[in-house]
Every structure is written in structure tokens, then in C-alpha cells.
């Protein structure tokens, strides 16, 4: 999977050479797989069904599409490049919209857009989008897939986000049973939301489970015993109104605690 792409960003007749860099990084600890009995590493070899002795080199591997049962057409990377038009290879902004017009459900990956030239045009687009509170939309091909994209400002730079197409989003799995809501319950639910409302600061959160895995690895290296956590008493089921009232009392205490701290 490519983590950066060289391309051009255009709006109207303004062209900006750019590179795209993935915004998110994968912090997961990587593990190798081992045979539990022999303690030897599991290997995955790329072999062909007609020759299981010799491993196939990456440069000798091509893609195949099954067009009939057992019949394949083989495609090489150059074949995919040949069908790309100049427009496919560039990010052409087709229009501008308000960001709230897009359901977050459609967002996929995000990339930093870094200018490799035409800095003034890049800065102009950042400033114009920021002041108009707009985002550009268009399409581009990244790798072997055409993507709907949104280009939006973030401080002094631009972010590109790829979107899923409408037909890529699956329907909700099942129909939810219709039930009536008691006005008193709704009032308490709104009060609970109000009491629990606060400013979201993402820097306050970190991956605690990752730290537990790191501690687990450290203990295993040192030969220490891994202890099971204490069992927690199951939460007693209560009436919805009682659950809401109890939750509001707890939220009020936490709110006072946040104000004090």
C-alpha cells in the first residue's frame, strides 16, 4: 500500500504540483507468528500451484481477473497506467461545497497535501477556502482505485479526504422495532446529555490497551506471572427512568469535579 503519491492539484486553470502523505500512522505492535510446539517462525512463501518448490519473486507476480469459471485474464501494472487519463492522475476540483453537506459515514482516508511548487497558489487556495468556509470536491485515481475526494483547509495547509461511493456503503443490517418514547424519559435523556456535554480535547486520550500489551510483553520477557484482573460485579439491570436519574446524578458529580480541577 502506498503512503504517498505525487500528483497535481488544480482548480480552474490554476495548477499546483503536490504530494499526498497519509495523515494517520499505524501504532499497533507488530507480531510474528510461531509454531506453538516447535517455537519456530511461521513462513508465508509465494509459490505457484504448478511449482511449489521455488518461491515466485515479486517482480514476476501479476494480477488476474476471473472472467469465467477457471478462466483468468492477466493484468500488469503497465496495463492499469495505460488507461489513466491526465485527469485521472491529477486532483481536479470540480466545485465547492459546505463540509456539513457530507455525511461522515462516507469518509475513508485522509492525506496531507504538500506543495512541491506554486506555493503562492497553494496559500491562496488555503486562505480562500478558510474565509469562505468551503471545501473543494472532485475525483482522482490513487493506486488502482478512483476516489471521490474532498479538499479542505486545516490551519495553514490543505487536507485531502477520500470518500466512499454511494454504492460502497452497505445498508443498515436490520429494521429496528418501532417503540414509543415516554416524554418524561426523553426529558431526562436530554438533561443527561446536557450534564455530560463538554469540550472535546483529543490530546487527553491515548491508547491504554497498547500500553497494557507493552507491559504484558515486558513481563513475559522477564518471566513474570500474568495475573487475571479481578472480576467485576455485573451491573444490576434497572428501570430506564431509574437508570437515567442515576446517570444524571453521576454526571452532575463529574461535572462539579471537572470544574474544581
| Beta bridge partner(s), residue 190 | none
> Are residue 141 and residue 236 in the same domain, yes or no?
no
- What CATH number is attached to the domain comprising 9? 2.40.290.10
Residue 85: the pLDDT is 78
Contact call for residues 84 and 141 (beta carbons, < 8 A): yes
Whole-model pTM: value is: 0.79
41 domain-assigned: no
> Are residue 218 and residue 89 in the same domain, yes or no?
no
Q: E strands within the chain?
A: 4-11, 14-22, 63-68, 71-75, 91-97, 107-115, 135-142, 145-154, 157-163
99 domain-assigned: yes
| Final residue in a domain of this structure, among 168, 199, 230 | 168
> Are residue 151 and residue 188 in the same domain, yes or no?
no
Q: 164 lies in which domain range? A: 4-27+82-168
> Are residue 192 and residue 147 in the same domain, yes or no?
no
> Are residue 213 and residue 144 in the same domain, yes or no?
no
> Are residue 204 and residue 245 in the same domain, yes or no?
yes
Q: Residue ranges of the chain with pLDDT lower than 50?
A: 1
Amino acid at each position: 500500500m502506498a503512503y504517498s503519491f505525487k500528483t497535481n492539484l488544480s482548480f480552474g486553470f490554476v495548477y499546483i504540483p503536490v504530494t499526498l502523505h497519509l495523515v494517520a500512522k499505524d501504532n499497533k505492535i507488530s507480531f510474528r507468528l510461531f509454531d506453538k510446539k516447535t517455537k519456530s517462525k511461521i513462513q508465508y512463501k509465494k509459490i505457484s500451484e504448478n511449482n511449489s518448490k521455488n518461491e515466485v519473486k515479486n517482480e514476476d507476480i501479476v494480477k488476474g481477473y476471473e472472467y469465467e469459471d477457471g478462466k483468468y485474464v492477466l493484468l500488469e501494472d503497465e496495463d492499469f497506467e495505460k488507461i489513466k487519463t491526465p485527469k485521472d492522475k491529477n486532483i481536479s476540483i470540480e466545485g465547492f461545497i459546505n463540509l456539513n453537506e457530507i455525511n461522515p459515514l462516507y469518509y475513508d482516508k485522509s492525506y496531507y497535501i504538500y506543495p512541491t511548487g506554486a506555493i503562492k497558489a497553494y496559500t491562496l487556495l488555503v486562505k480562500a477556502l478558510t474565509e469562505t468556509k468551503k471545501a473543494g470536491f472532485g475525483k482522482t485515481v490513487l493506486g488502482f482505485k478512483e476516489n471521490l475526494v474532498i479538499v479542505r483547509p486545516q490551519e495553514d495547509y490543505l487536507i485531502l479526504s477520500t470518500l466512499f461511493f454511494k454504492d460502497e456503503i452497505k445498508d443498515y443490517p436490520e429494521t429496528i422495532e418501532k417503540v414509543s418514547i415516554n416524554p418524561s424519559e426523553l426529558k431526562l435523556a436530554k438533561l443527561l446529555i446536557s450534564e455530560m456535554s463538554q469540550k472535546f480535547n483529543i490530546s487527553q486520550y491515548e491508547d491504554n490497551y497498547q500500553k497494557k500489551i507493552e507491559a504484558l510483553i515486558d513481563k513475559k520477557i522477564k518471566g513474570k506471572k500474568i495475573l487475571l484482573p479481578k472480576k467485576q460485579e455485573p451491573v444490576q439491570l434497572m428501570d430506564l427512568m431509574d437508570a437515567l436519574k442515576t446517570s444524571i446524578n453521576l454526571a452532575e458529580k463529574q461535572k462539579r469535579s471537572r470544574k474544581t480541577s
